[in-house]
């Protein structure tokens, strides 16, 4: 049977765009549907605009720190609408670049919603049916909401936070994951009064405990109010703004905006996957094998919709591997092991590999190398901030199992440390590498004695 296209991709985000482009360059006839804006979450309302906001928020401290180096900085003022307009221009430029790349690769794009109507058919919002040899689900994820919370419609999610007409003077952020933590840092840097509310005892569950404690201490120094072990009972609109009420005894807080960043859910609702018998997991994620195949032989899925590791580079690699394997005659699979990641908090976090707790739980002997120090820049700026660097090392083989950093440029550093860890470098390999002086990163190769030894269990 002849199909209209070889491959129909639903979703023009990180994973879908890469898969479509590579499949087309391998000679496949590809159509891609995007219902919102080309580029997806990362480009339009995720990584990219977020990082631009992080940059904007850092100037405040740069101006203050300059005084320690002899500079006199005049009165400073942040113009939120000017920044948002500049950010929007950059996002529009990137969106056009994504569309242009697809076009040049020969992918036909349709700017509308698509749903699956069978193993080899898709229906567009305009009613048109397109048949396809294969269908790739790359629909990403959306912010979770608490449907039972009174006043939930008064809160915003990470979708709206990029488009506020005014900078909130006071913001309450719910959540303890990296998105909540990053926006807390952004708004504090921009001068907003920030309250971060999380139901658990510490932010950033799953990260190394030292990193979690370190960032909480740094956030407290910046005046971010950390309200842990707490949940909302409701949000109300009052004369002075929004009032957030809590379950576990904290006094109500007034705010101009309430940001819910309590997790993300795979975008599979109403997608018609049941018409092709595609199996979903408990969170609505598409269940896939290592080659991104579903239980339906013609349907594949990549990126956040599969709820494996929800990061842009991962979605891109899954999409690329799928396209090379199926259309390029080069079979390979995305490797989900030892993924270096950053949290663009202020200060930043960079991390790869096992936390101390995970390494110890694995049962072998573990050596911990740990340094906490004042970054050189702040000897003159006088800013009270500390950098944390930590290596988790296998006490038997000397292999570096994890690197955990919290401080300036940690995101940049962890990309490079990630190569060493992926190559199975030992602590002796780190030590044999000459230091780059004067840097903070040199601490990674100069920590001589373990600060702690965990014996084998």
Is 138 near ligand FAD (CB under 6 A)? yes
Cα–Cα distance between 412 and 439 in angstroms, integer?
A: 13
Q: Between 31 and 441, name the residue whose CB sits nearer to ligand FAD.
A: 31
Q: Of the two residues 50 and 427, which places its CB atom closer to ligand FAD in the complex?
A: 50
On the 0-12 / 13-18 / 19+ scale of CB atoms within 10 A, 81 is exposed
Nearer to ligand FAD, 243 or 351 (CB): 351
Nearest C-alpha neighbor of 327 from the set 134, 150, 142: 134
Instruction: Name the CA radius of gyration of the chain, rounded.
Output: 24
Among 5, 9, 21, 46, binds ligand FAD (CB under 6 A): 46
Tokens of 100: 């242009």
The residue within the footprint of ligand FAD, chosen from 12, 175, 176, 408 (CB under 6 A), is 12
418 in contact with ligand FAD (CB under 6 A): no
Q: Name which position in 9, 11, 259, 417 contacts ligand FAD (CB under 6 A).
A: 11
Instruction: Say which residue the tokens 């000679």 belong to.
Output: 27
Print burial letters for 207-234: b (CB count within 10 Å at least 16), e (below 16). Answer: bbebbbebbbebbeebebbbbbebebee
Of 305 and 388, which has the nearer Cβ to ligand FAD? Answer: 305
Task: Write out the binding residues for ligand FAD, residues 281-340 only, by CB under 6 A.
Answer: 303-305, 310-313, 315
Q: How far apart are CA 145 and CA 57, in angstroms?
A: 27
Instruction: Please report the beta strands in 13-148, taking only residues with DSSP state E, as ranges in sequence order.
Output: 30-33, 108-110, 114-118, 121-124, 129-137, 141-143
Q: What is the largest CA-CA distance in the chain?
A: 75
Candidate residues 7, 23, 40, 395; the one interacting with ligand FAD per rule CB under 6 A = 40
Asked if 41 is part of the footprint of ligand FAD (rule: CB under 6 A), the reply reads yes
Candidates 45-53, 56-64, 192-200, 378-386: pick the segment binding ligand FAD (CB under 6 A).
45-53
User: Of the two residues 46 and 189, which places its CB atom closer to ligand FAD in the complex?
Assistant: 46
- Using the minimum distance from each CB to ligand FAD, give the nearer residue, 31 or 417: 31
Q: Contact, 316 vs 15, CB < 8 A?
A: yes
DSSP three-state, residue 63: helix
Query: Catalytic: which of 250, 336, 437, 454?
Result: 437
Among 26, 29, 60, 113, binds ligand FAD (CB under 6 A): 113
Q: How far is the CB of 188 from ligand FAD (least distance, A)?
A: 17
Q: Which residue has the tokens 């594949």?
A: 300
Stretch that binds ligand FAD, among 13-21, 186-194, 382-390, 421-429 (CB under 6 A): 13-21
> Could you say which of 22, 179, 180, 259 contacts ligand FAD (CB under 6 A)?
179
Stretch that binds ligand FAD, among 89-97, 112-120, 198-206, 279-287 (CB under 6 A): 112-120
Question: Which is closer to ligand FAD, CB of 12 or CB of 395?
Answer: 12
Would you tell me how many other CB atoms lie within 10 Å of the CB of residue 79? 10
437 is catalytic: yes
54 interacts with ligand FAD by CB under 6 A: no
108 binds ligand FAD (CB under 6 A): no
DSSP 90-103: HHHHHHHHHHHHHH
Beta strands in 198-337 (DSSP E): 225-227, 232-238, 241-246, 253-255, 257-260, 264-266, 299-301
Report how far residue 443's alpha carbon sits from residue 13's, in angstroms, rounded to the nearest whole number: 38
Minimum separation from the CB atom of position 258 to ligand FAD (A): 16
Which listed range, 132-140, 190-198, 250-258, 426-434, lies at the site for ligand FAD (CB under 6 A)? 132-140
| Pairwise CA distance, residues 418 & 420, whole Å | 5
Residues that bind ligand FAD (CB under 6 A): 10-16, 33-36, 40-42, 46-47, 50, 113-115, 138-140, 158, 179, 267, 271, 303-305, 310-313, 315
Q: Which residues participate in catalysis according to the annotation? A: 437
């Amino acid at each position: 049977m002849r199909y209209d296209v070889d491959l129909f991709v639903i979703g023009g985000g990180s994973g879908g765009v890469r898969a479509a482009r590579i499949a087309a360059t391998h000679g496949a006839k590809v159509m891609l549907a995007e219902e919102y804006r080309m580029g997806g979450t990362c480009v339009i309302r995720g990584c990219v605009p977020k990082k631009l906001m992080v940059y904007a928020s850092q100037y405040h401290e740069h101006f203050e720190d300059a005084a320690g180096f002899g500079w006199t900085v005049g009165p400073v003022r942040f113009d939120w609408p000017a920044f948002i307009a500049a950010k929007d221009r950059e996002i529009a430029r990137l969106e056009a670049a994504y569309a242009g790349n697809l076009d040049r690769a020969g992918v036909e794009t349709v700017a509308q919603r698509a749903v699956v109507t069978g193993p080899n058919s898709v229906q567009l919002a305009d009613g048109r049916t397109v048949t396809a040899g294969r269908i790739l689900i790359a629909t990403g994820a959306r912010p979770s909401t608490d449907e039972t919370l009174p006043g939930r419609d008064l809160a915003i999610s990470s979708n709206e936070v990029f488009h506020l007409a005014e900078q909130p003077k006071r913001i309450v952020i719910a959540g303890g994951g990296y998105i909540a933590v990053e926006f807390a840092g952004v708004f504090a840097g921009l001068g907003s009064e920030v309250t971060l509310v999380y139901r658990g005892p510490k932010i950033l569950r799953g990260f190394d405990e030292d990193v979690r404690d370190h960032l909480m201490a740094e956030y407290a120094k910046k005046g971010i109010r950390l309200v842990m072990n707490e949940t909302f009972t409701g949000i109300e609109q009052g004369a002075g703004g929004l009032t957030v009420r809590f379950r576990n005894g904290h006094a109500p807080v007034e705010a101009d905006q309430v940001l819910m960043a309590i997790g993300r859910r795979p975008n599979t609702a109403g997608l018609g996957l049941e018409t092709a018998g595609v199996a979903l997991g408990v969170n609505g994620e598409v269940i896939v094998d290592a080659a991104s195949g579903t239980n339906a032989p013609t349907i594949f899925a990549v990126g956040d919709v599969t709820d494996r590791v929800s990061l842009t580079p991962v979605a891109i690699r899954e999409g690329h591997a799928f396209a090379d394997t199926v259309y390029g005659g080069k079979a390979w699979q995305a490797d989900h092991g030892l993924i270096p990641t950053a949290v663009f908090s202020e200060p930043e976090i960079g991390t790869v590999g096992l936390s101390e707790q995970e390494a110890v739980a694995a049962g072998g002997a573990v050596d911990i190398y740990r340094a906490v120090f004042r970054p050189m820049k702040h000897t003159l700026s006088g800013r009270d901030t500390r950098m944390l660097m930590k290596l988790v090392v296998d006490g038997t083989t000397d292999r570096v199992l994890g690197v955990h950093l919290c401080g300036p440029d940690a995101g940049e550093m962890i990309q490079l440390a990630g190569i060493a860890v992926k190559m199975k470098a030992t602590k002796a390999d780190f030590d044999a590498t000459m230091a780059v002086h004067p840097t903070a990163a040199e601490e990674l190769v100069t920590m001589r004695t373990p600060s702690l030894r965990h014996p084998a269990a």
